[in-house]
Structure 1
Amino acid sequence: MVEAGHAGLVGGVIGAVTAYIRDKGLGPGDSLPSELALSKELHVSRTVIREAFRSLAAMRLLDLHVGKRARVAQLDHGAMALMIEHGVETEQISVHQIYDVRRTIEVRTASLAALRRSDAEARSILENAQAMQTQFHSPERVMEHDLAFHLAIAKASKNPIFSMIIGAFQGVSQQTWPIGWRSRSSDEERRAMNALHVAIAEAILAGDPQAASHLMAKHFDESVKALLAAGLG
């Protein structure tokens, strides 16, 4: 390794490991060489290799298990979620900005889901929307189905990047959702919100991308209005 200093060595190993994954065409679940083998190949200590592996695991690029070789991880939204939540907590990102991005993305995912969803995915989306209605008197359960509804639509879009982004927003959504629910002035408004989810699901089931995207845009416009009424911008 040509970089000087411990941090530079770790950074160099991180780059070497990601290059190895790319060059060897490794996929999720595939094993990397042992710490000892990499230590000899890269001419650094096993401590440096171990720290690089831990950093890559923290970024959700590797899976580490005691007594087993490091493996290429399945993509998930964990690292992105931490970044977004940190941004909100340190006031570098506002909730309004998050909902602006979500609106842009989820109008698109609704449209794509209407075109690409499987029958099973369409049923799952609709079941979550209907559960929001039937479990109306348990806001916690309504929230669970609401979050699952949006993630199911992202997955049905068949674009894994959308699924990662929507998944990464769910931690913040869990914090803001109760505020938006309470800020609606009546049960009638809350039931209307739930009914709108059912309408989105039915448009996706019907394979109508224009209706699905239009209804999703309406949903986010109303959600932002409710959050602003609660003083959360």
Structure 2
Amino acid sequence: MSAVTMSGRSGVEGGSLVQRAIDAVRTHIRTEGLRVGDSLPGEGHFADKLGVSRAVMREAFGVLAALRLIDVGNGRKPRVSAIDGAVIASSLDHAVSTAQISVADVWDVRRTIEIRTAALAALNRTDAEARAIVDLAEAMDRDHADMAKVAAHDIAFHDAIARAGKNALFVQIVSSFAPLMQEAVPAAWKTREGPEDRAATLERHRTLARAIMDRDADAAVQAMDAHFDASIGDILRGLANLEPSDV
């Protein structure tokens, strides 16, 4: 079947051949009920079926791989990819760097999402997941003098809470905040002037971890809300003090 007869319109009227090839691959995944890790036919199969060149299909596969919808590699068939927060992270970074949204906008959305993940974690976590969350809160305390380690523990802490909630979409959205947190967490800590202030921040993390350990969803929500109440001002002040090229 030719590219024209597929839609009854010319290539120009029907959109680019590459876009139509992308749509065809996505339709194949959906209609065949493919799941993560399942193999897809190769470029030649789709090229013959759609009446397009292999160059068109190669470009379509490249776009799909860049969007993390398929996984391609040398010497093997393409496979269906797992959902990947890196795509969201890239969009967020672009939006912030081009002033389409502000850091405050991102943190407002993050606050809303993470209050819900805290409740879900308290309800759905396993014992091992609860222990890991507590361990990460304690690791932040132990390594409080090393900002790189604190940032890594903090990112892992929020990621672990999202994973314990058992909602895969929340996991990916929370993970998409990680690149910004790598700048924001150390910047925020620099605005916390005394040891009492830093100790209070660490205690808020421990309080949240304990609420999840205790399966107390209401307390977890309150703890996450208090965490953002106290932290967001520090984060925004810290980022305001960075050079634009540093964010």
TM-score range, shorter chain: over 0.9
How far apart, CA to CA, are the structure 2 residues paired with 1:82 and 1:118?
Answer: 31
Letter of the aligned partner of 1:223 in structure 2? S
Alignment of 1:89-108 (within 5 A): 89-108=97-116
Q: Tell me the CA shift for residue 195 of structure 1.
A: 1.3
1:132 to 140, 145, 154: 140
1:68 to 57, 66, 76: 76
- 1:151–1:167 contact (8 Å) kept in structure 2: yes
Q: Tell me the CA shift for residue 68 of structure 1.
A: 1.1
How far apart, CA to CA, are the structure 2 residues paired with 1:8 and 1:51?
Answer: 12
2:38 corresponds to: 30
Q: Tell me the CA shift for residue 92 of structure 1.
A: 0.9
CA displacement 1:197-228 (0-9 Å, x = unmatched): 11100100000000001010010111112134
2:169 corresponds to: 161
TM-score normalised per structure 1 = 0.96
How far apart, CA to CA, are the structure 1 residues paired with 2:103 and 2:233?
Answer: 12
Alignment of 1:109-120 (within 5 A): 109-120=117-128
- 1:96–1:232 contact (8 Å) kept in structure 2: no
How far apart, CA to CA, are the structure 2 residues paired with 1:138 and 1:34?
Answer: 48
1:143 corresponds to: 151
The alignment yields a C-alpha RMSD, in angstroms, of: 1.6
How far apart, CA to CA, are the structure 2 residues paired with 1:47 and 1:86?
Answer: 29
Q: Computing the radius of gyration over CA atoms, which structure comes out larger, 1 or 2?
A: 2
Letter of the aligned partner of 2:189 in structure 1? W
- 1:64–1:70 contact (8 Å) kept in structure 2: yes
2:230 corresponds to: 222
How far apart, CA to CA, are the structure 2 residues paired with 1:70 and 1:187?
Answer: 53
Q: Is residue 187 of structure 2 the alignment partner of residue 192 of structure 1?
A: no
Post-superposition, which runs of at least 4 consecutive aligned residues in structure 1 deviate over 6 A?
Answer: none
Q: Is residue 47 of structure 2 the alignment partner of residue 43 of structure 1?
A: no
CA displacement 1:41-65 (0-9 Å, x = unmatched): 1110011111101100110000010
- 1:122–1:204 contact (8 Å) kept in structure 2: yes
1:176 corresponds to: 184
2:217 corresponds to: 209
1:4 corresponds to: 11
Report % sequence identity. Answer: 44
Gaps in structure 1 of 5+ consecutive residues: none
